[in-house]
Structure 1
Amino acid sequence: MIGISIIIWKKKKKNFNVLPQLPRGCRLTKAQGTNFVLWTIRRKNDIREKTTESEKHLLFFDGYVTNFSELSSVSNLHQLSEESEASLILKGYEKDGIDFLERLNGIFNIVIVDLQTENTIIFNDRYGLLHLYCGENKDLFVFSPDILYVAETINTKDQINLNAIADFLNFEFVIGHDSFFKKLSLVPSASKILINSYGIMKMEKYWDYPYSIGAVQSFEDSVNKCDVLIEQAISRILRLTSRPALSLSGGLDSRTIAGYLNLKHTKFDCYNLGFKRGFCDTIYSKMIAERINVPWHFFDFMNIDYVDLIPEALNCLGYHISYNQCSFYPIFRSERVQDKNDVILDGMCLDAQIGETFSAFTRGEQKTLKDEAGELLYDMFFGIKRPFAQHLFEPEFVNLIVEGCKRRILTSVEHKIDLPLSQLSQYYCFITRVRRYTVGVSLINRYSLDTQFPFYDNDFFDFVLQLRPDFRKDRYMHKVLLMKKFPELAAIPWEKTGLPVGIKPCSIKKKIDSFISEFHYLLNRLTYGHLELGKNRFTLDWRFRNDKQFNKFCIDVLKTRCSFDRYLKNNAIEDLIRFEESGRNYIGLILSLVQVKLFFCQLESG
């Protein structure tokens, strides 16, 4: 798995081969001392230096930092063009200590070893987007992005965490820091970890989404400040890339990035994934690219062989990302894309920051009742209802997947329980859904190209956490920003409404659309899913019913026997397939079950 790994022995180092199998197309750099082995795996075409050493310290770095030019004036560092990122970080650390690391703006993991004492510091960014799993036994600590490797090294592969499995079947992600293995967890975001030479570990968080509605700003001032901060974030990112790629849909987030890139006269390529060139999302994506005159490339979802590629992608990340997040893996894996581009820009999280997500809870200032928070967030993320769970699972697992999930949701947010629901739900989205689900597409794409996240800029995020929640209602702020800054892009229809940005569907149109949607649903059901209308974007449920090879692959995996079957009722798989093939959409649960079964089969096959 691409990224940094380290094994630290608590006492005397054991003699065994600690290095994992090297992924295809990657290279390995390692260092070792009397009580540690440290290595990084990266693509062969990644030429940036990620390791450095001084008389006092050894540093390994993974990720990117965007604010070296600002830090150089404070810490008297040279510019990035003259030295590697790793070298700059080490010089800053040796001058200012941990305080310097806390000022870094970017997405990264850093490991620093004191060469005299062999004390080790492990430090990640505010948001923890580059996953690093940790585990320990009586002899050692292990940190690695390769969760299967960690589980095998500390000998916990046979200790399955059913709570995490229940989370995944429910939401396609695991709640909090848990993993599919007991005694093995994801390193929390904004962590600074110190392990001394005696094998004692201390972990602290240095930042945790400090919500504070500051001095009341007018809506217009907030839009203007949002514009300035996004433009600054894009400019910082562009210092690190010469030819970015952008996954361009007909939505708002990616067109926002496209607008700012065009404003900066940046050359970039746009990629769209769809079923047909005639689908709305693809049409609007192409219109955006043509409006700003940038290259646009289309990939037909139905012509990509996912049957072989998706299991490969899932195995790379230890089955801890959703099947849905692997869609773009075959695209950015292709040589023709890698020849054109050096990085992928991901608009992830903007909708949760300034858009629609959870804006239904923006008016009330009432505090969230602790007893209700778990259930409210469970329903908000479309948790499985108890009657349906009882139809598929044995009673002990039903309790894990319903009441158990609600308790784990509550535990993950209880230290922020006094926030109004609009902010509590947004916080939960940031720390769990975005970090454990949405980021999956970028983690797997790292095997082809690095990903950078313009909207995960520290200054912009600080602004978001002070933003009045009602400004986000109905994506109003985002729409106004687009109409003001890029009116030519706002005039292109939005794939969710089919209307230009800022134009609300009238009540009559909403009723007509609702009637048509209901008619399509009934037609799908009556024809057992074989006559589907109304699809304007690619969906895996459509492919499940129409692609015989994909359908066979899923059904074969679902019917494969494994130890997880004891938690399923006798006819659960047959009923779920029948529901899906009759026009209902249970593809999320079907693919999650496929993934869980692949995980169990992989473990049981040795």
Structure 2
Amino acid sequence: MCGIIFEMDNKICDEVNFKYALESQHHRGPDGSNYKVLQSGKVIIGNNRLAIIDKSGGSQPITSSDGQVVITFNGEIFNSRDLRNGLEKAGMKFNSSHSDTEVILQMYLKFGIKFIEQINGMFAIIIVDLKTQHTFVIRDRFGMKPIYFKINGSRYVFASDLRAIKILSKNNEICQDSVAEFMGLGFITSPNTVYQNIISLQAACYMDIDMISGKSTINNWWTPPVDEFGDINFEESVNLVRKEFTSAISRWTTSDYPIALSLSGGVDSSSVLIACLEAKIEVNPFFMGFKGFSLSRWDESSVVKGFTEVFGINYNNIEMTPQDLVLNLNNIVSHLEQPYGGGIPSWKIFLEMKKFGYRVALNGTGGDELFGNYNRATDLPSNVFDDIESFKLNYLNKFYKIYPYEINDLLMDNTSERYIDKLFHKAQRYQDLEIEKRSALFDMETQLTDEFLIMIDKLSMMNSIEARTPFLDHIFFEQIHRIPNRVKNIEGSYKLLLKTAFGDSLPTFLKQAPKKGFSLPLSIWFRGELRELLISKILDEEFIECFHLNKVIIAQTLDQFLAGDNSRVLFIWRLFMLSFWLRSVHLNQSFEKQ
């Protein structure tokens, strides 16, 4: 796991400034920073390394033996051993013992850009081919590893973090459309970012840059399979899930270091733990709860305690308090880099893992989208993806709490309509599929990538930890995605297929436990210990003026919330986090140094 960075210009790049940008990503790779100057100073490519695989032989950037191809890479390739065996049989030589970065290089030399179709993992890759004068920038299938860029004429800058882009470029103005989208969703969907001219390369895409002309194209290189198994039954599907997930776990636990696990009271992370136990793969679970009777709605301690007792395993129990949030929120927000209004308890988990010396951590992200998608398709109108008003009210507002009318009043314009148009256009993909698949694919390409995975990446790398999501092993995903919904969601039971696949091992009380999610007890804390902080942040005059917000709407909504109305708690949380972002990131002159 690493931070990567690239700059190309038609004049000599500022090497001192590049080193400054590289250093800003130190948290992503504390084990070493290196860069290479190419094309007489007109191209620089760099890397911050967090050593997980082949600590002694995996330094980056690396160069082909003829000096014509240079690569830097963030992530892990979990089938690199198999790929390397095939390359060695074909006569290709390796300098490292088991570096997956060198496997990527050799795969590119043999297969060209088509090599990406053969790799299994999470990655952002930059390849500079001096022979063909093309640069390729690649993002993995699900967007587990971010890569941002800014183009100004023939000048290109890419980096894992926005802070590095900001160091290498000027005039980074806030995008008001993105602010509207954030207030509606709690996150910003790619390719947009909070800045007008900084772009997020979308999942499963690669950019091809012609280094001579300075022109570029963006190409989609993978889409989820839409064909289904024709005659598979429930029992066969259960066996397929168990077999393929066990294989995925085997691949995604490749590491030269011990492995931790983020454990909740849900089926997904519990299934990851069971699969590891059955494969005799040692993992150390970490669980976070909230102490106090009033917080029992958010706490899953009893479920986790009972589950681990069944298996006779120990786990690290962590408690989060409002004081933890107050003391660390500035640092959390600065590492998230963009306004973020989702759940952030994972930060505390990764911090504790780091204290115990862990560098690798598994989690259960992706299981919901693959096994039932929260039952969101149940009782949806048949036209929900074909009529924009139905889409806005019956899908976005129902599942994302977009507060369409309140946000128009808050922003005093119609910018919220533009992001809804963008999302509606995205929802038009896969028009021929049944509503369950359309719902799952839409959420996978928006919420999974741009809320959950980006949060996991930012908060894990904040603590120099590599977070892995084995449910998103693409071989496993493609197999399970092809199971028809009539089998996957039989009788409308949520995650019945996954629960049955591990039914012999999952305790009954866990299978029947209600899903609580992994969120903060905001309504309790904001009326208690965090009340004064909340008021000071969302009524801050500079905050209101910067975003041209309607102060009357904010005051009214705040009063209603403090009086006990929870219907707009997410609206309040998003305002709070937007105000915090303004101070911690946008107006903070030392942000890039953190």
TM superposition score normalised by structure 1: 0.84
Unmatched tracts of structure 1, length 5 or more: 499-533
**1:573 pairs with 2:590:** no
Q: CA deviation at 1:368?
A: 4.6
Change over 3 Å in CA distance of 1:205–1:10 after alignment to 2: farther
- Contact 1:357–1:426 (CA under 8 A) maintained in structure 2: no
Report the 3-state secondary structure (helix = DSSP H, G, I; strand = E; otherwise coil) of the residue aligned with 2:471.
coil
Deviation at 1:460, TM superposition (A): 1.2
Counterpart Cα distance in 1 of 2:290 and 2:494:
31
Q: How does 1:168-567 map to 2 (within 5 A)?
A: 168-198=182-212, 199-240=214-255, 242-276=257-291, 279=296, 281-302=300-321, 305-322=324-341, 324-325=343-344, 327-334=345-352, 337-339=355-357, 341-358=358-375, 360-361=377-378, 368-371=385-388, 374-375=391-392, 376-389=394-407, 393-396=410-413, 399-401=414-416, 403-439=417-453, 440-448=455-463, 449-473=465-489, 476=493, 478-494=495-511, 496-497=513-514, 539-547=521-529, 550-562=530-542, 564-565=544-545, 567=548
Alignment of 1:53 onto 2:63: yes
C-alpha separation between the residues in 2 aligned to 1:313 and 1:563?
19
**1:22 equivalenced with 2:24 (yes/no):** yes
Q: Is the Cα–Cα contact under 8 Å of residues 351 and 357 in structure 1 kept in the other structure? A: yes
The structure-2 alpha-carbon separation of the partners of 1:43 and 1:99, relative to structure 1 and needing over 3 Å to count, comes to: closer
Does the 8 Å CA contact 2:377/2:435 hold for their aligned counterparts? Answer: no
- Residue 37 of structure 1 aligns with an amino acid whose one-letter code is I
Write the deviation string for residues 66-104 of structure 1: whole angstroms up to 9, x where unpaired.
112332454336899922111121112212222222210
- Alpha-carbon shift at residue 267 of structure 1 (Å): 2.0
2: CA distance between counterparts of 1:99 and 1:308? 47
* Cα contact 1:126–1:207 (8 A) shared by 2: yes
| Corresponding residue for residue 596 of structure 1 | 578
CA distance in 2, matches of 1:224, 1:79: 38
Matches of 2:25 and 2:386, distance apart in 1? 48
**1:385 and 1:299, CA in 2 relative to 1: closer, same or farther beyond 3 A?**
same
* 1:176/1:431 contact within 8 Å kept: no
Contact preservation (8 Å) 2:133, 2:211 = yes
Q: Report the Cα offset of residue 166 of structure 1.
A: 0.9
Counterparts of 2:193 and 2:386 in 1: how far apart (Å)?
28
What SS does the corresponding residue of 1:571 show, helix, strand or coil? helix
1:269 is aligned with what amino acid?
N
Aligned residue for 1:416, secondary structure, equals coil
Which residue of 117, 121, 125 corresponds with 1:110? Answer: 125
Superposition deviation, residue 489 in structure 1: 2.1
Matched letter for residue 144 of structure 1: A
Q: Is the counterpart of residue 157 in structure 1 residue 169 in structure 2?
A: no
Give how far 1:370 is off.
Answer: 4.9
Look up the SS of the partner of 2:300 in the other structure: helix
Post-superposition offset of 1:577: 2.5
Of structures 1 and 2, the one with the larger relative CO (CA 8 A, separation 6+) is 2
SS in 2 for 1:69: helix
1:145-165 deviation line (CA, Å, top 9, x unaligned): 22243245332322x211111
Return closer, same or farther for 1:456/1:481 CA change in 2, 3 Å cut-off: closer
Which has the larger displacement, 86-95 or 328-337? 328-337
1:37 — aligned with what? 44
Residues 109 and 538 of structure 1, relative CA distance in 2, 3 Å threshold: closer
119-128 vs 253-262, greater mean Cα deviation: 119-128
Residue 255 of structure 1: CA displacement?
A: 0.8
1:68 alignment partner, one of 80, 89, 95: 80
Q: Is the 8 A contact 1:274 1:538 kept in 2?
A: no
Partner of 1:523: none
User: Counterpart amino acid of 2:33?
Assistant: L
> Shift of residue 334 of structure 1?
3.7
